[in-house]
Chain A
Amino acid sequence: MMETIFRAAMNHIRAKEDLKRNTKAYLIASLNASPAATKSRSARSVRQRVVIAACTVFFVCAMSAATVAYYKTPASYLSLDINPSVELGVNGLGRIVSATAYNSDGTTILNGQNIMDADVKSAVHTLVKSAAQKGFVAQDGSTVISVTSETDDASTAIELENAAAQGAETAIQSERKTATISKDHVPLEKRDEAKKLALTPGKLSLIQKLQALDPSVTVSEYKDAKVKDIMKRINELKKLAKANSSAPEDDNTAIDEADGQDAPSSSGTAVDKNTQDTANETDDEDSPVSSGESGKDSVSDSSGDPEKVDSQPASSKNGITSSQTQSSSGSTETGSRSSSSSSAINNDSKLPQ
């Protein structure tokens, strides 16, 4: 029954003459046209596919290029000063993407070392080990290894410094030597200034601290000096200033000025913005409680009291000053955070072997 009705109904559905006529005209036109025109639809389809494929390839290439560019572009820097001065470019993923020697000694320790794509810790480990093997780290433990992060991001700075300090520490330990490791942080703008002077920002920072204590010091004078010599000179000047000072309050004030916090007239005047920034970050925000931050203090305040410094390295079994020890020394200080942090540096690097 349904079948019959359905058949009868469907028999009413027929192609109208208009439809046939239009289709016929279209087909004749299409078939009589050139082969290219008859195949226009398939050609269009092919063109669409080619365009889509091209777009896909372009997109993939663009993404790859962007990824490579992101990977290869340093987001922050780390300068390593012993006296070999080397600056490492670190990308956003924490990998080394560039290594620049700032002096011939730097070239020497970089020579033959493959640190590209390595993480900060292993790269610094490799370079410090190379420096130790090539005689840049003294046996008596007097060598000061300065690692300075160059970035505008505080957390990245701490990560870089800690990783670099750990790398340096393990390298020194593996070479059975002793050294003092100091950490510092400078903003990126400081890097430009240092680059103009052909110095690493870390060394420039130290020289500027020295200038804060002795305005007669020039950058060129200490440009090729070892970090330990600069530190030694800073400590001498601080001892001298302390001896000349009658009241302890004055001493503390002098240290504060040297750290660049207030820096009114005398020694503090010479402290540049960078030092001030560093001092502010480390002293104001992160008191000696945090190991990473206190380590930063120790570097930036390297012009601090030598006596306090001595205590820190001593706490390190291998003679390497660690940031943790600095915090404890800071807590014993007279009250000025800047002075406590400054103590971390000195230690005169007399570390037990």
Chain B
Amino acid sequence: MEKTSSGTNDVVTEALDKYSDMVRRICFMYLKNEADVEDIFQNVFLKLLQYQKPFENDTHEKAWLCRVTINECKDFHKSFFRKNTCSIDNLEIPIEDKSEEGVLREVLSLPQKYRNVIYLFYFEDYSVPEIATILGRNQNTIHTHLRRAKAILKNKLRGFDDGNYF
């Protein structure tokens, strides 16, 4: 991302407007604490603004940011000094619709590797090969994760409405 000392403010504003929601959602998939989210937020955008190499296009930039955010979240969880686990049951989800909240809660209760593919596939509309590239995994692995995640969710969400979410 291009930036000059005089245009720093604009560059920062542009980056935040463009990607803040996406970064926040990825953080939401990993973190349960607002303070932790803010730390990751700052780190991710600082890395973006300090990144020297030019991106090929916006898609490349977005994929790069996804990867960096996921890495930051993983590193955060690996950090010895920041290991404070929080139960998903205590997480406050700012959604009034019960079915939406139920689905979200079940997605958040999935293992981390399944959460990633569900988010990237269903919300960011990445294809399996693209997800495989972003996550650095084999395509077949992504297929497997996606299939298993859907199976888990289908089983868990059977109680909602008619149980036909998929």
User: Which residues does A use to contact B, with CB under 8 Å?
Assistant: 1-3, 5-10, 12-15, 19-20, 22-24, 26-28, 30-32, 38-39, 41
Contacts and interface: CB of A to CB of B under 8 A. Distances in A.
B140 interface: no
B138 interface: no
A1 B24 contact: no
A82 B35 CA distance: 83
B119 interface: yes
Contacts of B37: 19
Contacts of B95: 9, 12
Contact of A32 (B5, B20, B153, B164): B5
B165 interface: yes
B50 A38 contact: yes
Contacts of B164: 1
Interface of B: 3, 5, 8-9, 12-13, 16, 20-21, 23-25, 28, 34, 37-38, 41-43, 45-46, 49-50, 94-95, 97, 99-101, 103-104, 107, 118-119, 122-123, 153-154, 157, 164-166
A342 to B, nearest CB: 70
Given A1-B166, A2-B103, A32-B5, A14 B21 contact: yes
Contacts of B3: 31
B165 A23 contact: no
Contacts of A15: 16, 20-21, 23-24, 41
A31 B41 contact: no
A39 B50 CA distance: 9
A36 to B, nearest CB: 13
Given A3-B122, A5-B100, A7-B123, A28 B38 contact: no
A305 to B, nearest CB: 76
B99 A5 contact: yes
Contact of B100 (A12, A24, A31, A39): A12
Contacts of A26: 42, 46
Nearest to A1: B165
Contact of B104 (A10, A14, A24, A28): A10
Given A2-B166, A8-B97, A19-B38, A27 B21 contact: no
B49 to A, nearest CB: 6
A6 B104 contact: yes
B20 A6 contact: no
A7 B122 CA distance: 7
Contacts of B24: 13-15, 19
A28 B23 contact: no
Contacts of A30: 46
B41 A19 contact: yes
B42 A10 contact: no
Nearest to A8: B100
Contacts of A14: 20-21, 24
Counting chain B CB atoms within 10 Å of each CB, the highest count among A6, A7, A22, A32 belongs to A6
Contacts of B21: 13-15
Contacts of A41: 43, 46
Given A23-B16, A24-B13, A10 B119 contact: yes
Contacts of B101: 9
Contacts of A31: 3, 5, 8, 12, 46, 49-50
Given A27-B8, A41-B43, 11 more contacts: A2-B157, A9-B100, A9-B101, A9-B103, A19-B20, A19-B37, A22-B42, A23-B42, A24-B16, A27-B12, A27-B45
